Amino acid sequence: MNYILYENFCSNPQAYWFWFEVVFVVGCCMGSFLNVCIWRMPLGESVITAPSHCPKCGHQIKWYENIPLISFLCLRAKCSGCKQPITWRYFIVELLTGTLFAIAYIAITYKKMPFSLMIPAGAMIMLAVSAAFIDFEHRIIPDALNFPAMVVGGIFWIAEYFTGAIRLEGLIITLFCGFAAWGFFIFLAWLGAKIFKAEALGMGDVKFLAAAAFLFGPSMIIEYFAGLLIASLSGFLFGVVHALLKKQDLRGSTLPFGPFLASGMVIAMYLPHCK
Ligand SMILES: [Zn+2]
C-alpha cells in the first residue's frame, strides 16, 4: 500500500509521509480559520479584521493560545482569562479539517491525480466543513462561504488552462457546468417550493451546489453527481426517520440539508476515479 502511494507521487516514502504531515498541519490551521468563520459569519462580523477574543470575557487570544489542536488541549478547554469552558467545536473542527485534508492527499496520490488538485479539494473541504456547522446551527449557508469557493474554483481551472494542464474545452465545460448547475438548482428550488408548498432547497444550498460544480472541474463530473445522490438519499432517509421519531409530517421537517450536501460532496471527492 505504502509503495503504491508514494510511487505515484515521489521517489521515496520519507518524502511522501513528510508531505502527508505538511498537508495535515495545513488542514488543521485552515480548520482554525474556519472556527472564526463559523463563529463570526452568521453574526455578520468580519473574519479578517479584529483579532480573536474570548466571546465571554473579551480576553484577546495570544498567538501561542491559537496553535491548532495543541493550545486547546494545553488550556484544558478553558479560556486563560476567565476560566470559562471553550466549546469542543474548536478542537473538532480543527481535527476534522486536518483529517479530511490528509485523506484528500491520500486519495489524490492513490488515484495518480496531480498534486495541484489539493487546491480545489482543500477549498471543497473548507466550504463543506464550515457550511455544515453553520447550516446546522443557523439554517443558512452564507454567501461569504459560497462565493469565495466559486472564485477559487474558477481561478484554479483558468490557471490550469494557462499552465497547459487542461485544454480549452475542459475550461469551457467547467465554467459552463458551474453556471448551469446554479441555474438548474434555482429551477429545482422553485419547482420544489411549488410542489411541496415549502422550501425544500434553499438559495444557500443552490449556491453551495454551484460552488461544488466549479471546484470539481472537468474530470470529476461523475463524482459530482455521485455526491448529489449521496446527499439526497442520506438527507431523505434521515428526514423520514426524523419525521417518524418526532411524529411530524415530512413536509414540515426542519432538518437542515447543508450537512448532508457537505458530507455527500466530500465523500464523492474520495471515491475511486471513474472515466
Ligand atoms: Zn474568557
CA of 80 to the centre of ligand 1 (A): 6
| Mean confidence (pLDDT) of the chain | 90
- Residues with beta carbon < 5 A to ion ligand 1? 54, 56-57, 59, 79, 81-82
Please, what's the b/e burial string for 113-136 (b: 16 or more CB within 10 A of its CB; e: otherwise)?
A: beeebbbbbbbbbbbbbbbbbbbe
CA of 64 to the centre of ligand 1 (A): 15
Is the Cβ–Cβ distance between 57 and 115 less than 8 Å?
Answer: no
Which residues, 6+ apart, have CB-to-CB distance to 71 below 8 Å?
A: 64, 65
What pLDDT, on the 0 to 100 scale, is given for residue 1? Answer: 54
Residue 46's Cβ-count burial label (10 Å; 0-12, 13-18, 19+) is: exposed
CA of 45 to the centre of ligand 1 (A): 19
DSSP class per residue in 205-223: HHHHHHHHHHHH-GGGHHH
Query: Coil, strand, or helix at residue 268?
Result: helix
Per-residue pLDDT in tens (0 to 9) along the chain, 275 residues: 566 667 777 778 888 899 999 999 999 999 999 999 999 999 988 888 777 888 888 898 888 988 999 999 999 999 998 999 999 999 999 999 999 999 999 999 888 888 999 999 999 999 999 999 999 999 999 999 999 999 999 999 999 999 998 899 989 999 999 999 999 999 999 998 888 777 778 899 999 999 999 999 878 889 999 999 999 999 989 988 888 888 777 666 678 899 999 999 999 999 987 55
What pLDDT, on the 0 to 100 scale, is given for residue 199? Answer: 77
What is the C-alpha separation between 172 and 186, in angstroms, rounded? 21
Choose among 163, 139, 257, 144: nearest CA to 209: 257
What is the C-alpha separation between 41 and 154, in angstroms, rounded? 23
Which residues, 6+ apart, have CB-to-CB distance to 147 below 8 Å?
A: 207, 211
What pLDDT, on the 0 to 100 scale, is given for residue 15? Answer: 87
What pLDDT, on the 0 to 100 scale, is given for residue 262? Answer: 97
What pLDDT, on the 0 to 100 scale, is given for residue 251? Answer: 64
The cell numbers describing 56, all together, are: 465571554
CA of 86 to the centre of ligand 1 (A): 8
Give the count of beta carbons closer than 10 Å to the beta carbon of residue 180: 13
What is the C-alpha separation between 201 and 213, in angstroms, rounded? 17
CA of 57 to the centre of ligand 1 (A): 4
- Residue recorded with cell 464523492: 268
CA of 58 to the centre of ligand 1 (A): 6
What pLDDT, on the 0 to 100 scale, is given for residue 195? Answer: 87
The cell numbers describing 228, all together, are: 448529489
CA of 214 to the centre of ligand 1 (A): 40
